[in-house]
Amino acid sequence: MSLRPILIHPDPRLKTVCAPVSALTDDLRRLADDMLETMYEAPGIGLAAPQVGVLSRLIVMDCVKDRDAAPRPMVLFNPEVVWASEARSTYEEGCLSIPEQFAEVERPAEVRVRWTGRDGREEEDLFSGLWAICVQHEIDHLNGRLFIDYLSPLRRQMITRRMQKLKRERAKA
Ligand code: K2U
Ligand code: ZN
CATH of the domain at 41: 3.90.45.10
Question: So what's the pLDDT on residue 66?
Answer: 86
Domain span at residue 116 reads: 12-172
Question: So what's the pLDDT on residue 173?
Answer: 86
Give the closest residue to 4 by CA, choosing from 36, 26, 45: 36
Rounded Cα distance between 47 and 115, Å, is: 16
Question: So what's the pLDDT on residue 65?
Answer: 83
From 11, 38, 45, give the residue whose CB has the most ligand 1 atoms within 8 Å, as the site to mutate. Answer: 45
pLDDT in tens, 42-53: 999 999 999 999
Query: Does any ligand 1 atom lie closer than 6 A to the CB of residue 45?
Result: yes
Q: Decide if 136 is inside a domain.
A: yes
Q: Decide if 121 is inside a domain.
A: yes
Q: Decide if 4 is inside a domain.
A: no
138 part of the active site? yes
Q: Decide if 7 is inside a domain.
A: no
Contact 141, 14 (CB under 8 A): yes
Q: Decide if 33 is inside a domain.
A: yes
Q: Confirm whether pTM is higher than 0.85.
A: yes
Contact 46, 135 (CB under 8 A): yes
pLDDT in tens, 69-122: 999 999 999 999 999 999 999 999 999 999 999 999 999 999 999 999 999 999
Q: Name the residue at shortest CA distance from atom 10 of ligand 1.
A: 93
CA 138 to ligand 1 centroid distance, Å: 9
Q: Decide if 1 is inside a domain.
A: no
Question: So what's the pLDDT on residue 67?
Answer: 81
Q: Decide if 165 is inside a domain.
A: yes
By CB neighbour count within 10 A (0-12 exposed, 13-18 middle, 19+ buried), where does 88 fall?
exposed
What single-letter DSSP state applies at residue 97?
T
Domains identified in the chain, total number:
1
Q: Decide if 21 is inside a domain.
A: yes
